[in-house]
Structure 1
Amino acid sequence: MTTATAAITDVRTELLVVPVEPRLRAYGSDVVNLVRVLVQDADGACGTGFTYTLGAGAGVVCRMIDDLIGPAIVGGRTDEWDERRSKIAASTRRLGRSVFTPALSAVDIAVRDLRGLQTNQPLYALLGGRARAMPIYGSGRGSNGLELDELVEQTLGYLNDGYPAVKVRAGARSPEADLERLRAVRAAVGDDVPLMVDCNEQLTLPDALWFGRRLTDLGFRWLEEPLIAEDIEGHAVLAAQLDVPIAVGEHLVGRYEFAHHLRTTPIGIYQPDAALTGGIGEAMRIAALAEAANRSINFHSLPELHVHLAAVCPNACYVEDFGILNAVLGEVLRPHEGSVVPPDRSGHGIVWDDDAVRRFTQPY
């Protein structure tokens, strides 16, 4: 049995190259590079964390953990993590955020998972919340690479699987062609089903204005990532001129970038990803900033992790089910009456498929 004061004795890193099923692929990404971190204490308990890339560079993230972050926390305790995290972040400030922040995210998730195991508490309880049910929407199967009949079929498939809302992708075609595809999806599902659209940073400002104005008539709940994340001024123009809400955040890093967005744009929906933006603690700080500004939070992807955070955040609107890691999970969230509830297991409760993890692990 582990104790809450058991020291961290080992930090190990694994790199998995996980295939993405064809219906989830977009813009040429057919694999996800998963960096998995295992943090063990003196009593043998082991917490797991992760980050990921859809392109090159995951090996560098692994080495950041092996060479810098891991050695800096061995010998410490999980209840000292926040203080150590701040010191590690300060010591690496000159390195920038592109490699360090994903690495820190993975370690943060693992340490908090271990803390839950040590104290026999689910993650949502560690965060001060309860296991409330959260609405979930299906995301990913509506790829912009699909033919129109396939897009409609996959959208209807989510509804048949019990998801009350669905997000589809646009941006790979002309705005006119994408609009016709969305009209066909709306006609197929009816007027009462909540629909969202994700453009994955593919539009120009003029096209986004044209496209967004026409989404209002189709009743779309939000227009996600129409522009590159760094174009704050463009997002401010869209949020001010369009009736459809704008959603951004999966490519913003850390609370300071989110805070700048919140101060300078009227965007209504923010989508932090705990595995990319600095970890669970940083994602919760971002959610609190958004709440103070009366904005909504919709955590990006990774439902098995983010269901805990959403359950705690009063301004969280949905859990997104984008099954990018399903190939290495032994258990995935499924909707019940349109909602999901975080598991009562200690820590984050993510169940890994050990055979799949071994199969997809590669040297780095």
Structure 2
Amino acid sequence: MARIEKVELVMVDLAPKVERKDAIQAFVSQETPILSITDSDGAVGTGYCYTIGTGGGAVVSLLSETLIPALIGRQAEEIEAIWRDLLFVTHATAVGAVTSLALAAIDTALWDLRCRKAGLPLSKMAGGAKHAVPLYSTEGGWLQLGAEALVDDALAMRERGFSGSKFKIGKPTAAEDRARLAAVRAAVGDEYRILTDANQCFSLSEALLRADMLAEIDVGWLEEPMPADDIGAHATLAGRSRVPIAVGESLYSISQFKDYLQQGACSIVQVDVARIGGITPWLKVAHMAEAFNVSVCPHFLMELHVSLVCAVPNAPILEYIPQLDEITASRIQITGGQASPPSEPGIGIEWDWPAIEKRAVGEKRAFTGG
């Protein structure tokens, strides 16, 4: 087996394509650390992670000062051992977002390297369950948008063959949320999926009230209704709501998902490959959810998640938010509202390195064993 000889790290800052606001925050920028690993055979794998405006420097610092030095000389094929060893190297900062994001950049690069050397795309290497997945759009559903804008975007997505759209909720009153969603439902009809995301803004009592309202509009799921660490409240809500409860983008370990599933606190898992710590733990969460007969509908990162949702059998739909267009030459393949995973060996992302260098925050750093 080949050993890791060099690691390169750079971070770019990408502006969102549209204004993104939800009930608790604004998505002001996308800090994107990008990490490449070169092994002793000369093969290269590249991975990445992201933030929504803060913390990117902390991720880069953890990678540079702690994790990358521990990588040099390791056998690149030992992905499981590396992931677990690095988790315990950072035991004092785990479980948490910064550590998980840093681990994800490394783990994704190692999977890219493995797939390239095996001559297989990630969707096949990780399982090969299906050839395409339906899409839903989030980019036209932000909280600051009025009902007319929401309707226009949903109709446009339906025309493209998309299965549904997701809308941010959390207006001061339930009546305001109802009016916006009811306008969309009247425009798109009964077959088009309307999904909602509260971004953790509700109390349990408010979530119960809004869930009743959402059921009347035939909403497909209520995402992150309450703070993600309140599993008990989610279990109460899930037991009483007629609308499926979705969680996962703010969970950072396999065990947190285990607790939700064991307590029946959700019926849709939205595990994010960056926030869970990489492809290695993402697959474990997906298979664990399958054992509970729960669907996996991951958060964000469509360019990477398209391969993962096609690798497992219990992922019925993929979120559409273009993320990497400014720094990649590849684009997600969409036909009739369905996305197909890349067929090239690796994770299927073709990086535009001149564009990355132009947008780099600070200098690109290289680490070797010398």
Range into which the TM-score falls when normalised by the shorter chain: over 0.9
- 2:347 maps to 348
The alpha carbon displacement at 1:20 in A equals 0.6
**Residue 172 of structure 1: how far off its partner (Å):** 4.1
Tell me, yes or no, if the aligned pair for 2:48 and 2:108 is still in contact at 8 Å: yes
Q: How many angstroms does 1:68 deviate by? A: 1.8
1:200 alignment partner in structure 2 = 199
- Write the letter of the residue equivalent to 1:66: S
Measured after TM superposition, the shift of residue 173 of structure 1 is 3.9
3-state SS, counterpart of residue 77 of structure 2: helix
Report the RMSD for the aligned CA atoms in angstroms: 1.7
Quote the residue 1:302 is aligned against.
301
Contact 1:17-1:360 within 8 A present in 2 as well: yes
> Who is 1:164 aligned against?
163
For residue 174 of structure 1, what is the amino acid of its counterpart?
Answer: T
Higher relative contact order (CA 8 A, sep 6+): 2
Q: Which deviates more from structure 2 when the two are superposed, residues 178-187 or residues 311-320?
A: 311-320
What does the per-residue CA deviation read over 1:322-358, in whole Å, with 9 as the maximum and x for residues that have no partner?
A: 2233333323224312321111101111122334322
* SS of structure 2 residue aligned to 1:78: coil
Identity %: 33
Aligned counterpart, 1:55 = 53
Equivalent residue for 1:87, pick from 85, 88, 91:
85
Amino acid at match of 2:6: D
Shift of 1:126: 1.7
Matched, 1:22 2:18: yes
Correspondence 1:249 to 2:248: yes
* CA distance in 2 between partners of 1:124 and 1:192 (Å): 29
Aligned position for 1:221: 220
Bigger drift between 101-110 and 259-268 goes to 259-268
Which of 5, 13, 24 is 1:9 aligned to?
5
- Report the Cα offset of residue 88 of structure 1: 1.9
Other-structure match for 1:107: 106
Q: In 2, Cα distance between the equivalents of 1:43 and 1:335?
A: 35
Q: Aligned in 2, Cα 1:18/1:60: closer, same or farther, shift over 3 Å?
A: same
In structure 1, the gaps of 5 or more residues are none
2:231–2:265 contact (8 Å) kept in structure 1: no
Count of paired positions: 360
In structure 1, distance between residues paired with 2:277 and 2:227: 20
8 Å contact 2:3–2:74 — kept in the other structure?
yes
1:81-112 Cα deviation digits (max 9, x unpaired): 21122122122212233222110011100110
| TM superposition shift of 1:143 | 0.7
The corresponding residue for 2:230 is 231
8 Å contact 1:62–1:103 — kept in the other structure?
yes
TM alignment of 1:311-322, pairs within 5 A: 311-322=310-321
Q: 1:22 to 1:340 in 2, by over 3 A?
A: closer
> Helix, strand or coil: the match of 1:33?
strand
**TM (normalized to structure 1)?**
0.94
Question: After alignment, is 97-106 or 234-243 more displaced?
Answer: 97-106
Relative to structure 2, which stretch is displaced further, 21-30 or 294-303?
Answer: 21-30
Unaligned runs of 5+ in 2: 364-370
Q: Classify 1:314/1:70 alpha carbon distance in 2 versus 1 (closer, same or farther; 3 Å).
A: same
Note if 1:211 corresponds to 2:207.
no
Residues 1:223 and 1:147: Cα distance change in structure 2 (over 3 Å): same
**Structure 1 partner of 2:367:** none
Moved more, 299-308 or 238-247: 299-308
Deviations 1:173-197 (A, max 9, x none): 4222011100011111111111111
| Alpha-carbon distance between aligned partners in 2 of 1:130 and 1:290, rounded to the nearest angstrom | 15
1:157 aligned partner, one-letter code: A
